[in-house]
Amino acid sequence: MDDQEVLNWADEFVLANTAKHFNHVPEAILGGTWQRQKYP
């Protein structure tokens, strides 16, 4: 699974459970985490 597939899956999961899509902030955090970036 690549990072875009993970973002799509997460967005679908959040949408199904909250009726809202990801916006750019959680998308950036999840994408960075998937790429093993660290957040101080």
4-27 confidence digits (pLDDT tens): 888 889 889 999 999 998 888 888
pLDDT bucket at 31, cuts 50 / 70 / 90? confident
Residue in this structure with the two tokens 């916006």, named with its chain if needed: 23
From 30, 24, 29, 33, select the one nearest 7 (Cα to Cα): 30
pLDDT of residue 19: 92
Residue in this structure with the two tokens 């970036």, named with its chain if needed: 37
Q: What SS3 string covers 1-40?
A: CCHHHHHHHHHHHHHHHHCCCCCHHHHHHHHHHHCCCCCC
The pTM assigned to this predicted structure is 0.68
Does 39 score more than 80 pLDDT?
no
Dist CA 9 CA 5 (whole Å) = 6
